[in-house]
Amino acid sequence: MDRPLVILLVEDNEDHAMLVTLALEEVNMGYGLHWVKNGEEAMDYLYQKDMFAKTEDNPRPDLILLDLRLPLMDGHEVLKAVKESCDLKTIPVVILTSSENQGDITRAYSNYANSYLVKPMSSDLLVKMVNPEENTGSNGIDIRYNKANQKVDNSWQVRHRSQRRANE
């Protein structure tokens, strides 16, 4: 990868955004973290509209960290729009939310979320997920998973559908 990993964080809660930022700074690998506070800003960023029109300042993200409970346009709507877009659907989307609601989990995976992480968060798993030295996936990203519903570091709960059906 010629440039640092670009992560788009879509999170309306400033404290949660700060925790993610601090977790990524722990590994000090030059991540380009871009933070937007609602779903409409996320879509404007992704399509480089309005205040995000300068492409050199707002590059295409390599990974989206997406909260579900967002103002203006919720995370489910953002996820669906991203995964239905020919231009955006290859960007991995990790749901990072406080919701443990089975309906939210099912809906997220039905709309092709790559992973579903439940807050509160410890920084270890997040750092492992985005650390290019530990992965080999496309665009330098290989989302690491544990088995569904397995506790990770006693503070993260990861839910993952092991593999998307090849025909979907």
Q: What is the pLDDT along the chain (168 residues), one digit of tens a residue?
A: 467 789 999 999 998 888 888 877 776 667 788 999 999 999 999 999 999 987 788 899 999 999 999 999 999 999 999 999 999 999 999 998 888 889 999 999 999 999 888 876 555 656 665 554 554 443 333 333 333 333 333 223 232 322 233 333
Assess contact for 82 and 104: CB atoms under 8 A.
Answer: no
Predicted pLDDT of residue 104: 93
Indicate which CATH number applies to the domain containing 22.
3.40.50.2300
With respect to residue 13, please indicate whether it lies within any of the assigned structural domains: yes
Predicted pLDDT of residue 137: 43
Predicted pLDDT of residue 19: 83
Predicted pLDDT of residue 163: 28
With respect to residue 10, please indicate whether it lies within any of the assigned structural domains: yes
With respect to residue 167, please indicate whether it lies within any of the assigned structural domains: no
Contacts of 149 (CB under 8 A, 6+ apart): 157, 159
With respect to residue 165, please indicate whether it lies within any of the assigned structural domains: no
Integer Cα distance of 101 and 76 in angstroms: 13
Contacts of 109 (CB under 8 A, 6+ apart): 116, 161
* Tally of domains within the chain: 1
Q: How does DSSP classify residue 55?
A: T
Predicted pLDDT of residue 92: 94
With respect to residue 25, please indicate whether it lies within any of the assigned structural domains: yes
Structural domain that includes position 77: 6-159
Burial of 97 (0-12, 13-18, 19+ CB in 10 A): buried
Predicted pLDDT of residue 121: 56
With respect to residue 100, please indicate whether it lies within any of the assigned structural domains: yes
Contacts of 143 (CB under 8 A, 6+ apart): 92, 94, 114, 115, 129, 135, 137
